[in-house]
Structure 1
Amino acid sequence: MLQDANGDYLKQVVIDKALDSAIEQIETRIAPLHRHIFRIDDFLIEHTKEVIAQAYVAYENIHYIIIATPKINAVSQNALLKIIEEPPHNIRFILVVPQKTILLPTILSRMPLFKAQYSPTVPPPLTFAVDRLDTAQIYALIKEHERTSRGEIKILIQRIFVEATRLGLAQKPQILKAFEHAIEVLELNANVSTVLLSTLLHLVKR
């Protein structure tokens, strides 16, 4: 998908016939704290109201609202138009549809288009077990990622958070706060090694 210089996803329309696979891909790349997914087979005006209400929830960091649908009527699209054009602070919309012809030209003119050339595959698994991390592995990871960009580190941290959540390790407030803080300071050009060390140590100390 389309990203900015900081590694954050732009608002965009994603064209992919395999909607569920596209959503799985998004779930591996954007941590649950930073996304809200509306996967709806027939998107109607009542769903638009739910989306708009969610968009006006205040978020300290970038939050993605993902609408994935094979069918959305013109009334619903027109109702979404203004908030897509002028979203609330820190809100970015991603529309996932099987073909661009289901969207109005007014929607398409306000969002860049990303067309999947093939059904996206799930990224390879992490090379370490999140629930068995120790300090030696953490320092090895830091060494491995010394020259990794902030954008890539942000994606790595979000993938670790997704896996930690799946394993039931991210329920404590201090761990949630650590991951939230990591994303925030990376956007402020913090040192990637320091951020990675601090975040992963919270998992070891859980």
Structure 2
Amino acid sequence: MIEFIENSSILIVNDIETTINELIPKYPLHSTRIIKNEEKEEFQIAQATQAIKEAYIASIEKKYIFLCGTTFRKEAQNSLLKILEEPPRNVVFIIITNSKTSLLPTIYSRLPYKYLKKSLIKQESTLNLNKLDLKDIYNFLKENQKISKQEAKDIVESILLKVNNQKIKLSQKELEFFSKSIKLLELNSRPINVLTTLLLFLANQKNKN
């Protein structure tokens, strides 16, 4: 259970939407604003501009402005620096994100943070890695075509967990491909593209053996 956050803070959480749904009922509806990118998971300059405009709309009551994003564009963060350091009267900023690394040190050093991420038990993938074929890959990707970046990272980790549990021997090149997949997701590559590349790579390596 997440408690009411009274002062400007950064919240590091597992799931942004779940956190918003849990927190918002605790705040007065008329003086709460949620600012996020409806099309992407990244908080961009347009959202930063919106947040700044909202902050300067005068209010005699405390106004709570939630800034939400899996990642925050560097330009957006830089434009928020001054207002986070010297917010208008009665304005509270609450940044909600999945990782400390999504924020610049200049942002992170300005606000207190609460680390609310809970350890998730990773489950191994249901894919049969020893008999991976194009039909399996197609069906799997079809089921997961609209997943988030974090969900894609969990899938990559679940596949690697299955590799370990089934004692499947991978070459250094194959292991590095998992690391590369995680890195691409961190750089905001489309999750479905990263998973497609990884699974086709594994199927191709299996056929070579």
Report the TM-score range of the alignment, normalised by the length of the smaller protein.
0.5 to 0.7
Q: Which amino acid is the alignment partner of residue 66 of structure 2?
A: I
**Match status 1:66 vs 2:63:** no
1:12 matched residue in structure 2: 9
Work out the CA distance in 1 between the residues paired with 2:3 and 2:84: 16
Q: Which has the larger radius of gyration?
A: 2
**Match status 1:39 vs 2:41:** no
Aligned residues: 115
Work out the CA distance in 2 between the residues paired with 1:63 and 1:44: 22
Work out the CA distance in 1 between the residues paired with 2:68 and 2:35: 6
1:99 matched residue in structure 2: 99
**Aligned residue runs from structure 1 range 52-131, under 5 A:** 52-118=52-118
Q: Secondary structure at the match of 1:111?
A: coil
Work out the CA distance in 2 between the residues paired with 1:37 and 1:16: 16
Q: Which amino acid is the alignment partner of residue 70 of structure 2?
A: P
| Identical counterparts, % of pairs | 30
Q: CA deviation at 1:39?
A: 2.6
Q: CA deviation at 1:2?
A: 7.2
- Residue ranges of structure 2 left out of the alignment (5+ in a row): 120-209
Tell me the TM-score normalized by structure 1: 0.53
Moved over 4 A (4+): none
Cα-to-partner distance string for 1:11-50 (whole Å, 9 max, x where unaligned) = 0000002100100111121121121001322211122111
1:22 matched residue in structure 2: 19
Q: Which amino acid is the alignment partner of residue 88 of structure 2?
A: P
**Aligned residue runs from structure 1 range 153-168, under 5 A:** none
Cα-to-partner distance string for 1:87-109 (whole Å, 9 max, x where unaligned) = 01100100000011100011111
Cα-to-partner distance string for 1:147-181 (whole Å, 9 max, x where unaligned) = xxxxxxxxxxxxxxxxxxxxxxxxxxxxxxxxxxx
CA-based RMSD of the aligned residues comes to 1.8
Work out the CA distance in 2 between the residues paired with 1:33 and 1:68: 19
Work out the CA distance in 1 between the residues paired with 2:7 and 2:3: 6
- Mapped contact 1:61–1:90 kept (Cα < 8 A): yes
Work out the CA distance in 2 between the residues paired with 1:82 and 1:2: 27
- Mapped contact 1:64–1:94 kept (Cα < 8 A): yes
- Mapped contact 2:3–2:23 kept (Cα < 8 A): no
Work out the CA distance in 2 between the residues paired with 1:77 and 1:91: 18
Q: Which amino acid is the alignment partner of residue 79 of structure 1?
A: S
Work out the CA distance in 2 between the residues paired with 1:61 and 1:31: 10
Tell me the TM-score normalized by structure 2: 0.52
Cα-to-partner distance string for 1:118-150 (whole Å, 9 max, x where unaligned) = 39xxxxxxxxxxxxxxxxxxxxxxxxxxxxxxx
